């Protein structure tokens, strides 16, 4: 069973990413990290380590109840489960990872913002710009703190802690060699911006041969499912079931692709360049398979028409090959209007196409069009 840790923004607007994940993974474990709201206790002296005494006044669970209500079917079916992120502090790597992440966010906090109306002087130096929260960090603020309105306070501390917790959790699970999925653009940008960080690289170096890179898999599946938002979970699960054989071949294909890529890239580079890899490595395979399907569809009617010119070639249907044929071919064959050799050629051409692991992407794409 292929399981993935899902460490991402679990809000209603991110539901489609979970649909994509369940088209690839057998089981998705959503990691529910928490943030503690702590207020200092007045008139209390610092403890022996010099820390001020505080009191927990609230706990924010990063997997919201609204999100859980949206994915109720997946939870009931056992395709998705929610796991606590509370055990992470017991891992010996946790302290080191937190230190790395705090360093990253201290130097890369601007990633939470978007600039617009930027003005440069004649030398290319920026003179002024308007700054706004990025659309993703704005959505997180609205989900957990409240709407952003004129006169409302923006809790940048919460947003920083939110991404610190999520990134630390993501890196911890990656360091254990576990499959991890995140649909967060900001988390992916933080990883990309710091992929050359020596401390950061040590985490990835421990899992150079840890199987399929999750971003590679998600980007590839996303390529074949551009309009998945219109499909309810019931239909996505049904599509996953109908394409399960092709999925196994697709996973093997991705394993082979990643193994070959590791000769030239680190796992961190594969993660950060997954869209580029899908574009240049996987998309050409899809184009080739589609061409073969079209060629086969054009070739067969031509051969059938040629056989009609020669009545001696008609052969009655004998055997059990009909189940592998579309109804119009099996009907012609059973009536003795085309030869068994033509039907056999049809089966071989389809078998060759389906043997390609990338055929899974064609199949789920076709299923979604029905």
Buried b / exposed e along 51-60 (16+ C-beta atoms within 10 A):
eeeeeeeeeb
Residue of 276, 288, 294, 283 whose CA lies nearest to 213: 276
Question: Going residue by residue through the chain (370 aa), what tens digit of pLDDT does each one get?
Answer: 888 999 999 888 888 889 999 999 999 999 998 887 777 676 666 666 656 667 776 677 888 888 999 999 999 999 999 998 876 666 677 778 888 888 888 877 777 777 677 777 777 777 777 677 788 888 888 888 888 777 777 888 888 899 999 998 888 888 887 888 888 888 888 888 777 777 776 676 655 555 677 888 888 888 888 778 888 899 889 888 888 888 888 888 888 888 888 888 877 778 778 888 888 888 888 887 888 777 666 555 555 545 554 545 444 443 334 444 455 555 555 545 455 555 555 655 666 566 677 878 888 887 777 6
Tell me how far apart the alpha carbons of residues 360 and 370 are, in angstroms, rounded to a whole number: 16
CA 121 to chain centre: 41
What DSSP string runs through 128-191? EEEEEE-HHHHHHHHHHT----TTPPP-HHHHHHHHHHHHHHHHHHHHTT--EE---HHHHHHH
Work out whether the CA dihedral 167, 172, 175, 176 comes out positive or negative: negative
Q: What angle do CA 28, 34, 37 make, to 5 degrees?
A: 165
Residue 321: other Cβ atoms inside 10 A: 16
Tell me how far apart the alpha carbons of residues 248 and 243 are, in angstroms, rounded to a whole number: 9
For the chain, the distance separating the N- and C-terminal CA atoms, rounded to the nearest angstrom, is: 28
Model-level pTM greater than 0.85?
no
Q: Is 139 left (phi over 0), alpha (psi -120 to 50) or beta?
A: alpha
What DSSP string runs through 30-62? EEE-EEEEEEEPTT----TTSPPPEEEEEEEES
- Which element (helix H / strand E) includes 5? strand 3-6
């Amino acid at each position: 069973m292929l399981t993935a840790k899902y460490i991402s923004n679990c809000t209603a607007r991110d539901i489609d990413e979970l649909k994509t994940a369940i088209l690839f993974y057998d089981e998705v474990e959503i990691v529910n990290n928490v943030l503690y709201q702590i207020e200092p206790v007045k008139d209390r002296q610092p403890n022996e380590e010099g820390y001020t005494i505080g009191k927990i006044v609230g706990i924010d669970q990063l997997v919201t109840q609204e999100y859980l209500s949206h994915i109720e079917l997946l939870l009931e079916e056992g395709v998705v489960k929610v796991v606590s992120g509370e055990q992470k502090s017991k891992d010996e790597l946790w302290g080191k990872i937190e230190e790395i992440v705090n360093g990253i966010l201290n130097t890369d906090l601007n990633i939470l913002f978007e600039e617009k109306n930027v003005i440069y002087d004649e030398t290319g130096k920026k003179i002024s710009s308007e700054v706004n929260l990025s659309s993703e960090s704005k959505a997180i603020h609205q989900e957990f703190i409240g709407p952003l309105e004129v006169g409302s306070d923006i809790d940048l501390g919460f947003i920083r802690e939110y991404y610190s917790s999520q990134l630390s959790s993501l890196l911890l699970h990656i360091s254990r060699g576990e499959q991890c999925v995140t649909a967060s653009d900001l988390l992916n940008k933080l990883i990309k911006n710091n992929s050359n960080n020596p401390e950061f690289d040590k985490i990835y170096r421990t899992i150079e041969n840890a199987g399929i890179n999750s971003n590679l898999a998600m980007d590839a599946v996303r390529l074949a499912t551009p309009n998945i938002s219109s499909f309810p979970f019931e239909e996505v699960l049904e599509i996953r079931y109908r394409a399960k054989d092709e999925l196994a071949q697709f996973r093997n294909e991705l394993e082979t692709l990643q193994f070959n890529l590791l000769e030239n890239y680190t796992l961190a580079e594969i993660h950060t360049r997954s869209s580029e890899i899908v574009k240049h490595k996987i998309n050409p395979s899809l184009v080739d398979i589609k061409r073969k399907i079209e060629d086969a569809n054009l070739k067969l009617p031509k051969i059938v028409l040629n056989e009609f010119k020669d009545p001696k070639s008609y052969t009655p249907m004998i055997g059990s090959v009909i189940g592998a044929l579309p109804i119009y071919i099996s009907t012609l064959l059973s009536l003795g209007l085309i030869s068994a050799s033509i039907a056999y050629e049809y089966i071989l051409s389809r078998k060759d196409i389906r043997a390609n692991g990338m055929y899974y992407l064609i199949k789920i794409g076709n299923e979604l069009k029905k």
